Amino acid sequence: MMRKILAVAFKELYVTFRDRNLVLLMFATPLVLSTIIGMAFGGSGDSEVPDFADIAVAVVNLDEGADLQEMINLPDQLPNPDTFPIDAAALFPPLPDGVALNFGDQLAAILLSQPVEGAGTGAIGGFDPTEIGCSLLDESESGGAAAAPLGSLDDLLDATAMDSADQARAAVDSGEFAAAVIIPPGFSSQVAPQFAFDDDFIIRAQAPGEGGIVEVYASSGRPISARIVHSIVVGMVNQFVRVGVAFGATLETSANALAGGIARGEIELGAVDLSALSADLQELDATALEPLGCLITPGANNISAAQRPLEAIQEGHPFARVIVPAGAAQAVFFALFTGVFGIQSIYQERRNWTLQRMIVSPTPRIFLLAGKLLGNLVIVFLQILILLAALTLVASLVIGQPTLVWGGNIAAVLVVTLALSLCATGLGVFLVGLAKTPEQVNLFGPMVNISLAVLGGTFGFALPEQAARFSLIYWGVDAFTQLANAQTDFTLNLIVLFGQGVLLFLVGAWLFKRRLDL
């Protein structure tokens, strides 16, 4: 029986590749497109100096910082098991006035490619983030050449500091900048957790306030540049938020342990060496801040942390960083069309009665569909691979040396491509099964494909991730981006893609059975 499926699949391939126009449409168009992408991003293709860099960005930092005192929100009184009240201030060593964390300064410094100062403005014990090392750095390599950034933000952005948000926006409008990054006054307070004691004197993190959202004011005339800036900023802000949460969690636990101990009388206050305790506490904070240390260590080549946005920024050539998501999205987008219109050929087979000839042979209809699926799956597979190869070539030319932009794990690239091909072809079977006429496929096929592309961020604007997850393009691009960053955490992506493909095929086949009554 498998032989019949293979016969149909092979015939499908053969017929497709005999049709020159179809081959041209399927392979040449994406190739031309990827070359255009390459030229647009890579300048003249001169391998010496990729003039891809230098997206003009204005950086406005209005961050007022977060006061540590306020962050911790000490109550006036701590619960007192005995009679004597404890002055809260006596419990914790008083922080020097004006000690504040300013994450905005750091973000601005990174964007401006300036040396990064510590987040704290005053030196307080172990709390100076500039002294925090990055344990994720491979020590053996950190001193050597590998520590040098493969590509720093400097290659990518031509950032200018500005003082006023309005001024910056006006400059973007006038075309001077592709985008303005405006760090709001409340950025640090947003990132840094706020604490308060509840009625039981348990310390709790507070929901962050509003008003701390970093704005990327983009020029509509330069959507691609603006998108790059946007994705960089989003990546970095996420990083700060991650640090803030980790920091908050540690602080919360340790402070609660301390307060709880005192409250239950397990810790006798007189015996507590407060200064040592607070030093301990601050050690913990330092651990929490480690990821931040990675973020601000130039060239940190951390490969193991699950911090994709960070890696995307710090690894690889800037051109590769852009061509991976953009190219993968384009590849899948094209694959969707091949999938739908490849399966649609069943209508043509019905019109010229070759379908009927197959049906009157002793071959179950599901085998005919499976053969069609398989044949088109191979076509889509080849199409995506050719596109990936073409993009690799373009990227290598732009970068000036052979670069595997999709990462070195060829087997994994093939598996992801296969999953995507199955999904795209399964979608084809589903759509063709759902439609009543070929005209409906012509109408709905592109509509569905374009919707998926919009959801998946193919056209240069990203939708919220919750929405993007509905698109197989999201899952595919995500997996390819991970591969490009030498990550392999895409099991879920594979499950989603394979599962969706099989499901769509089965539902499509069921719908089809009803339509195959000729």
Partner 1 sequence: MQTMVETRNLRKTYSRPDGSTIEAVKGVNLEIQQGEIFSLLGPNGAGKTTTISMISGLVEPTEGDATIGGFSITKQSMEAKRLMGFVPQEIALYPELSARQNLAFFGRMYGMGGKALRRRVDELLEFVDLADRQNDRIDTFSGGMKRRVNIAAGLLNSPPLVYMDEPTVGIDPQNRRRVLDTVKLLRDEHNMTVLYTTHLMEEAQELSDRVAIMDHGEIIAMGTQDELTQQVGEEDRLEFTIGAQEIAEAVFERIQGETPGVTRILFNPPEQLDEDSSVFAPALLTVFAKRGRTALPQILQELDSAGVEIQSVAVREPDLEAVFLALTGRALRD
- Residues in touch with partner 1 (CB under 8 A): 3-4, 7-8, 11, 14-15, 18-19, 352-354, 356-364, 517-518
Smaller CB separation from partner 1, 361 or 466: 361
Give CA–CA dist 505/432, Å, rounded.
10
- Work out how close the CB of 27 gets to partner 1 at its nearest, in angstroms, rounded to a whole number: 17
- Work out how close the CB of 340 gets to partner 1 at its nearest, in angstroms, rounded to a whole number: 21
Contact between 438 and 501 (Cβ < 8 Å): no
Tally of CA atoms within 13 A in the half-sphere of 295 that contains its CB: 33
Ordered DSSP codes for 230-258: HHHHHHHHHHHHHHHHHHHHHHHHHHHHH
410-434 and 438-456 helices, crossing angle to 10° = 140
Q: Where are the alpha helices (DSSP H) in 400-464?
A: 410-434, 438-456
| Beta carbons within 8 Å of 480's beta carbon, 6+ residues apart | 324, 325, 328, 406, 413, 416
- Work out how close the CB of 13 gets to partner 1 at its nearest, in angstroms, rounded to a whole number: 12
Smaller CB separation from partner 1, 352 or 401: 352
- Work out how close the CB of 429 gets to partner 1 at its nearest, in angstroms, rounded to a whole number: 20
Q: Which amino acid is at 108?
A: A
Smaller CB separation from partner 1, 353 or 461: 353
Smaller CB separation from partner 1, 238 or 363: 363
Over 48-69, what HEC string results?
CCCCCCCEEEEEEECCCCEEHH
Smaller CB separation from partner 1, 27 or 406: 27
Smaller CB separation from partner 1, 251 or 379: 379
Give CA–CA dist 313/240, Å, rounded.
14
Give CA–CA dist 297/132, Å, rounded.
10
Smaller CB separation from partner 1, 313 or 358: 358
Closest Cα to residue 116, out of 99, 95, 131, 127?
A: 131
- Work out how close the CB of 345 gets to partner 1 at its nearest, in angstroms, rounded to a whole number: 11
Q: Which two tokens stand for residue 250?
A: 């540690």
- Work out how close the CB of 21 gets to partner 1 at its nearest, in angstroms, rounded to a whole number: 11
- Work out how close the CB of 350 gets to partner 1 at its nearest, in angstroms, rounded to a whole number: 10
Smaller CB separation from partner 1, 44 or 440: 440
Q: Where are the alpha helices (DSSP H) in 64-148?
A: 68-72, 88-91, 103-111, 139-142
Smaller CB separation from partner 1, 4 or 308: 4
Q: Which residue has the tokens 């406005």?
A: 60
Q: Which two tokens stand for residue 504?
A: 């769509």
Q: Which two tokens stand for residue 195?
A: 């604490």
- Work out how close the CB of 241 gets to partner 1 at its nearest, in angstroms, rounded to a whole number: 56
Helices and strands in the chain, H and E counts: 22, 8
